[in-house]
A and B are shown apart, each in its own frame.
Chain A
Amino acid sequence: MPYVRRPFNPLIPTVNQVVNELNQANENFDILADAFQGGNPATGVVLNAVNSQNAVNSQNADTVDGFHASLMPAPNVIVPLNASGVLDLSGTYVKSDVYTIRRINGDSLTSDYPLAVGEEVIYSWNTTISLAKPLYIATVEGFYEMEIVFPRNTVNATLVLNPNNTTYTNAFTWGAVGTFDGGPVGGGQGTVSGFYFHKVGLNGFSKIFISTFRANKVCLCLQRGYNADVSAMATHVIHSSWNDTTISWTSLGTLVAGASNGTARIKVRRLL
């Protein structure tokens, strides 16, 4: 017998009305009781809440998938965003084994990805296959950082970042101070067509701070690597500036190596 709403019809007499309607009422109570644990609505435990079209509020849902929720971070606790929309984990020490909130494999990108603040992209660049590595990152005015590690080698060639995947003839200047191991401190400067990171950038480790503001498009590079000009390890600080205030830097661009040197690893992160 199915559930029948309002089984009693006192103003419409029928044959065996009292028995029939009381039986229907009993059936309704059974259906209701079966929805609760132990067939007892007094437990307050619903057996199968399959769906809720509009669960307005629950003062104590106890657990979700077995986890409690709380504003105070703790092991096996779900922490909600606070009233300002911030995930505030300051209440206690929180450790993350994955280090970042999100890391993207840049080698799978085929069009510019809008990197969020704190997000980072990693790449593997086999320079024996291609001397150019498009980074496929859509840039907005802000700060980014890039780290590049090449194998130490005797390759003597430059490393350049072409913003917007484009060279702009003689629109960039660079200047460097540096020293090679056992040698004097020296410097250099020049005019080029992209952000220039010196030869040493192709033979070691470079950390590059990047400002993408239209009126201040600059890279500052700290570098340690092998300088084949002098056959020694060298350390450099290089600034490279795009001397233009009209063109927006909308795509981080393409790295171009002057010669192949094994496989480089690259990490790009948006700071602000």
Chain B
Amino acid sequence: MNTQITLTGIIVFIERNVYLRFLLVAIVAFIIVSIGSLIELYIERKFWARIMSRYGPTEVGKFGTLQLIADAVKFLVKEDFSPAAADRTIYNLVPVFSVTVSFASLLAIPFDYTVASLFPRSLHPLTFVASNFDPSLLVAFGFFALEPLIVLFGGWAAGGKYTLIGGFRSAAQLISYEIPLVLSFLSVVVLTQSLNLFQIIQTQAHSWPFAVLAFPAFITFTVALLAELERTPFDLTEADTELVSGWNTEYGGTKFLLVYLSEYIRAFAGSAILVSLFLGGWLGPAPIPPLIWLFLKTIIVFTVLVWIRAAYPRVRIDQMLALGWRILIPVSAVWLILTPFVAHLAMVHGALA
């Protein structure tokens, strides 16, 4: 019996098995996002500390690196409790689902291509790309769309009035800002005629970045993404002075750590989608590999979000609604109508492949 396992044999086996390729994508995404989330947390703590003159995150350990470990240990050793009024089954399930759904939205982002491209071309990296499937953009937003439900269930299951009000606010905000978000990315879909993030990035290799070509959509998408991620100035859902901490008030210890982690995973996924849609994804000058480009751009976008968070005060609820319904939705809708004409002009002048 011939039991010799060759590299070519393994490659062929992986190529033929689509589920195995998805498993590989999941593992790659897990590793990249874990590292990305840690870097995000580090950047956020340091950046905030510098802007607000806080000492802890800049002083604990070398370059403040031990602050993250101190935070993690603090959460892990805390008592695991459930409020008396909580619906315990749903209350305990919500943090787990929150992390799962956040991770699932990353399956559509072509990290696997960037990893595969690190290997020699003779291994045919393109055949490994599982994230190169047609409605991958919809997959990312499909899982994004489940977050309001998790928030609502989390707020309700905790059994407190602050959590419930926070849950309602959060779900209403997430649902209402999904409209400009979708309208904005639709203009990119019209430009590329594809719902595949992989192809959207590849189109930008022969065109201007869509951040330039579809500038209004880029701005509306960024603002709507800020609201979707519930980050300041749109953090009404956890307005400390009104709702203690919003829908996750009653979560503590490891459960809060999971909720907190899912927030950063979503931020990473959102930044990576923005980079893929408007800033050319992994595209960049050759000496730096695509994986580093994608990662670097994502981290830079996240840093800008942190900067906005540190620099702007929280908006009032009426301001948030006015911004969403009176500015973002009309602008993104009008731009969507204009996009075919822009695409035609860009094609004529060689700005779009």
A binds B: no
Q: List residues of chain B with CB under 8 Å of any chain A CB.
A: none
